[in-house]
Amino acid sequence: MTPSAAGLVEITSQAFGVEIDLLYAGARNFTGRPVYRRASCFLHADAAAALARAVRLAAPLGYRLKLFDAFRPAEAQWVLWRHAPNPDFLVHPARGSPHSRAVAVDVTLLDPAGDELDMGTPVDSMSPESRHGTSEIRPEAQRNRLVLLGLMSAAGWDFYRNEWWHYQLFDARRYPLLSGSVVPGGP
């Protein structure tokens, strides 16, 4: 795990033992179009280390992690905000998302067969049912969210109350905002 000059580490399925399905690299996201130029996944070295801890904690329980997003260039945050300026689910780009600091992930759990666990809503569902602690979803989905929360918290991640899938480092604001120019070819 050798960080780039910007302190970023490329996250690959092989190196980290995770599945990667970057929603914003294709049209299967709330904008209906690709936001990233290429499907590359990066995190700051500190977040990469926390991701590796989460992977190690999940393995004995028979789970794997699936990443939907990680580093999101500041330019991409503007694209998302212009499409859906909803402060309950998106940080205003001028303030700076933890994703744009390369210290956040959007993640779910996979069972031993490689299927996503039921979390009650899809990733990026901008609805009250996406909140942590809601009782408006099936009990199995509540349990699955709690398992994910426990694994990620034990690995050093903080959660965002409105999105069951979003985790970030506790001190995310200490990391600088980054543009797509910090990675080769830009994400």
Catalytic residue IDs: 163
In 14-173 the beta strands, taken as DSSP E runs, fall at: 19-20, 42-44, 64-69, 104-110, 157-160, 163-169
For β-strands 64-69 and 19-20, DSSP reports them as: parallel
User: Are 51 and 154 in contact, with CB atoms under 8 Å apart?
Assistant: no
As given in the structure block, the two tokens for residue 77 are 């945050």
Q: Which SS3 state, helix, strand or coil, does residue 18 take?
A: coil
How far is residue 109's CA from residue 144's CA, in Å, rounded to a whole number? 8
